[in-house]
Amino acid sequence: MKDHLLSAADLSRDDAILVLDTSAEMAQLTEGRSVKKLPTLRGRAVVNLFFEDSTRTRTSFELAAKRLSADVVNFSAKGSSVSKGESLKDTALTLEAMGADCVVVRHWASGAPHRLAYSGWIRSSVVNAGDGTHEHPTQAILDAYTLRKHLGSVDGRRITIVGDVLHSRVARSNVLLLATLGAEVTLVAPPTLLPVGVEHWPCQTSYDLDSVLVKADAVMMLRVQRERMNAAFFPSAREYSRRYGLDARRFALLPDDAVVLHPGPMNRGMEITAEVADSDRSVIVEQVTNGVYVRMAVLYLLLAGGRE
Amino acid sequence: MSWLIRGARVLGGEPTDLLLDDERIADVGRRISSRGATVTDADGLLALPGLVDLHTHLREPGREDAETVETGTQAAALGGFTAVHAMANTDPVADTAGVVEQVWRLGREAGYADVRPVGAVTMDLAGERLAELGAMTDSAATVRVFSDDGRCVSDAVLMRRALEYVKAFDGVIAQHAQEPRLTEGAQMNEGELAGRLGLRGWPSVAEEAIVARDVLLAAHVQSRLHVCHVSTRGSVEIIRLAKERGFPVTAEVTPHHLALTEDLAATYDPRYKVNPPLRRADDVAALRVGLADGTIDAVATDHAPHPVEDKDCEWDAAAFGMLGLETALSVVQETMVDTGLLDWAGVADRMSARPARIGRCDGSHGRPLAAGESANLVLVDPAASRVIDSRELASLSRNTPYEGMTLPGRVVATFLRGRPTVLDGKLA
């Protein structure tokens, strides 16, 4: 594996399988044990550098690092492009001076983790925990892990991703990783919410959810912000959920063993109904659990595995 | 003091001597006697008329941490320029006779290049009320070019009125063509790469829609429109059509849009963040052809200095713009001359004669190198090459996109009204 995890495209097929297998080992080593801690990263420092609020992702990384016995520092540097405050560079230099071995960064600007990794400001490993509308690679890994667990393998499986692809870092990372793993991915969204150039992505696209669902092995619903309707991406929340929401009728179109994913947080009643979100084929809560194993695997491979 | 330049190839022609005396070219020919002049050997060097930049950000007043009139014109002289048009987006904005006169006077005091201030079209660049264009014209700065550059005059009525109004004094409106609603928060060229990088797209259509509207407005009111920093194939095609129909339209292209593509954005290094953004190879090819066939009249640098902290950050947080003055001629040589698209006479036309005419530089710039003309000229060694090192630039800022690149050609000397501003490649 590379020194950093910035994009799902950084993972070759072998890398991706290694991370998934390692995640499974992490699950085995901790599940059902009273003491869930492993000594692997004792004495190493992991910094969670969050320029944007995200309790879920930060907590998941924190728990992952702690289970590997790393020292964890949470560094919240909330700032906007308008009121920059301390610059990314100065924050990075501070963390470097404190001796961070790994920086897990969440940032509102696409490419900020890339800048951290390659500007020569710091030497530590950088893990992208979500940057702007670019990528969120550990989310894609945990989705792939969850899919593999339920479908046996991702290779050749038909995965449908529905919603605001344009603004979704989750969708970008998932398309790249799932394609690497051999899945057939179909993006479904209104044309306004598909990025220009999506025809060059390693996936199919469709504007019609019903026709895609009948063949899907899994469907991933993306969060859609209601405010997008004010920027004319769609006329109203009602119309959006009628055309692209996963309700009971659409759920019934899915093959019997298909599963439903959502990266959270959900807008119940918008992209997904409560009935579907809480059904026994929804693996949404399990995704959260798997997130910890996957992040343990990533930290382990970056900090202990790859450099020995 | 008089200068005798021995054996320079004027516009790439046969070696000839040029005698400069009392601000003018006194004589051009073979074996001119020195008559007490200082002799400089120009064996192997080209002589071109002093370059004229229609689009320079000198940052003074207001951002003297990025550039001053003095350092900016030093950079201009080192790049072979004898006149620069200083854009209006300073702080305070150059929207009054007072500010344009101040900038003009600072240029005179520095003495490295003639500074032709550009006046703002609208007060404070706000796009709401016309600035006092007539007062700026009548000032000592004799402004002829007006631009809200950095912002587009997007209101169609205001644009129409501005075009009409400047007819009274032979002015020109230089439009930064960018439909604002289509480019809110835009970071780079809209396309597959922007989608992949998660950077907000700046679509070609946002430029082309304004260019199309403005050429029609210019034709309708029969007034001069100049299109700043054309960046797309579609804009070139619209301007070509407008010229075929005889519309009073001119256009410029920057060196960086002739040389660089959007692929550089994949580094997320804001050194490559510029407005309009770097486009695709297909656009670059169209811009080169457009410049070669005269659809695009001029190369203009859009020299945009920024302090280090405005570039050493996240892409989204970084300022738009690149340095250009000290590398422009080299980039034009590499992209236009060495590719066979333009000869040196063509370079002189696009970098001196035509921009001077568009800016109404009063017969002192952009003239042929002939006896009796103002002695504004540059000597260039086209066989030289150099590795660009931002620390060696005269500009106060370091944001060149060519860092570490090897570029052909070197400015050896620049003369402003018979007085050297650059000798042996260094400020005189």
Are A8-136+288-305 and A137-287 the same fold in CATH? yes
Residue A283 Cα, gap to closest chain B Cα (Å): 28
Q: Which CATH architecture describes the domain A8-136+288-305?
A: 3-Layer(aba) Sandwich (3.40)
CATH H-level, domain B3-46+373-427: superfamily: Urease, subunit C, domain 1 (2.30.40.10)
Structure confidence at residue A85 (pLDDT): 58
Q: Are A58 and A50 in contact (CB under 8 A)?
A: yes
Q: Which residues pair with B16 in a beta bridge?
A: B8
- Mark yes or no for CB contact A196/B192 under 8 Å: yes
Residues 195-224 of B with CB under 8 A from A: 195-201, 203
- Mark yes or no for CB contact A115/B313 under 8 Å: yes
Annotated domain spans of chain A = 8-136+288-305, 137-287
Q: Are B16 and B52 in contact (CB under 8 A)?
A: no
pLDDT in tens, B374-407: 999 999 999 999 999 999 999 999 999 999 999 9
Fold of B50-358: TIM Barrel (3.20.20)
Structure confidence at residue A87 (pLDDT): 84
Q: Decide if B302 is catalytic.
A: yes
Chain A interface includes B316 (CB < 8 A): yes
Q: Token match 């920024």: residue?
A: B306
- For chains A and B, CB pairs below 8 A equal 76
- Mark yes or no for CB contact B268/A196 under 8 Å: no
**What residues in chain B have per-residue pLDDT under 70?**
none
Q: Which CATH architecture describes the domain A137-287?
A: 3-Layer(aba) Sandwich (3.40)
Contacts of B194 in chain A (CB under 8 A): 195-197
Q: Which of B190, B313, B315 sits opposite A110 (nearest CB)?
A: B315
Where does chain B hold its CATH 2.30.40.10 domain(s)?
Answer: 3-46+373-427
Q: Which two tokens stand for residue B205?
A: 């259509």
Catalytic residue among B283, B302, B349, B381: B302
As a whole number of angstroms, the distance between CA A217 and CA A184 comes to 10
Nearest C-alpha in B relative to A175:
B196
As a whole number of angstroms, the distance between CA B225 and CA B217 comes to 9
**ipTM of model:** 0.93
Q: Block means of pLDDT (10 residues each) for chain A, length 308 residues?
A: 93 97 95 84 94 91 96 78 66 90 96 95 95 98 98 97 97 98 98 97 98 97 88 94 97 97 94 96 96 97 72
Residue A108 Cα, gap to closest chain B Cα (Å): 9
* Maximum CA extent, chain B: 67
Nearest C-alpha in B relative to A79:
B317
Structure confidence at residue A81 (pLDDT): 43
Q: Token match 């594996």: residue?
A: A1
Cα B197 to chain centroid distance, Å, stands at: 30
Q: Residue A156: CB partners within 8 Å, gap ≥ 6? A: A182, A183, A184
Q: Which of B193, B195, B314 sits opposite A88 (nearest CB)?
A: B314
